[in-house]
Amino acid sequence: MLIKKLPRNTQGRDWAVGDVHGCFAQLSRLLKIVAFDPARDRLLSVGDLVDRGPDSPMVTEWLAQPWFYAVRGNHEQMALDAMRNPLEDQERHLRNGGRWLAELSPAELDACAAALSRLPLALEVEVEGGKIGVLHADCPGNDWTALAARLEAGDLDEQDRDVLLWSRERARNGGAGTVAGIDLVLAGHTPQPDAVLYDNVMHLDTGAVYGGKLTLFCPLDFVEVSLPSGFDHLARFELHELDASLARR
């Protein structure tokens, strides 16, 4: 499945997170700050959950949560390539922060490969009065409707895939035209000092793994909550706490 469509969340709030890059302790702290409720809320990810950061091996556990929806980023793609073709692609992944993958046990490696393989390239989320799209880098052709149709048909060429996973044109140029067929697109990939809206594309990568900050964004009311690197130790909020909260309901 190259695109996953989510119905409107009528019970709680949807939050979106920028590139995590293994900073899951920081993400846990952020979820506590916004009083994330796993029984009603959903967390959307623009991809690049892994590499460079200390908690990358936790990606399988996070992706198993029923309230967590992520798209594939270029780092997930590099990890998959390294697992499928180690002789050709492992070195590139290692250069880009992928050493954690080589330290997994065979069982952990299999579970990680299965979880990353299931990640779609895009999410389409119904919201009140419209819909939002979630992808990693950018929308090819600035046409969401056409992209969604190609993803549903499994008819995606390499150029489109490169734009989805690797393009930095919009973020570097401060815009690249409005994406048609969608109200708002959430993206990451290119670190910015702050979350920023170019055209109708909100860029959420604020460089957490590079000493910047990790950002949550609520598209319902455009609330943005960020946590600078180094502050996650103040109140670690592990996954089991979320599970316990859900079990009490």
Positions marked catalytic: 75
The CA distance from 177 to 239, in Å, is 39
Helices 74-84, 86-95: crossing angle, 10 deg rounding: 140
CA nearest to 202, candidates 138, 246, 110: 138
Amino acid letter at 164? L
Secondary structure element (H or E) that encloses residue 14, with its range: strand 14-17
Distance of CA 46 to the CA centre of its chain: 3
The CA distance from 73 to 44, in Å, is 13
What are the two backbone dihedrals, phi and then psi, of residue 165, each rounded to the nearest 5 degrees? Answer: -100, -25
Ordered alpha helix ranges (H), 69-153: 74-84, 86-95, 99-102, 106-117, 144-153
Amino acid letter at 121? L
3-state secondary structure of 59: helix
Ordered alpha helix ranges (H), the chain: 24-33, 59-63, 74-84, 86-95, 99-102, 106-117, 144-153, 158-166, 169-173, 239-247
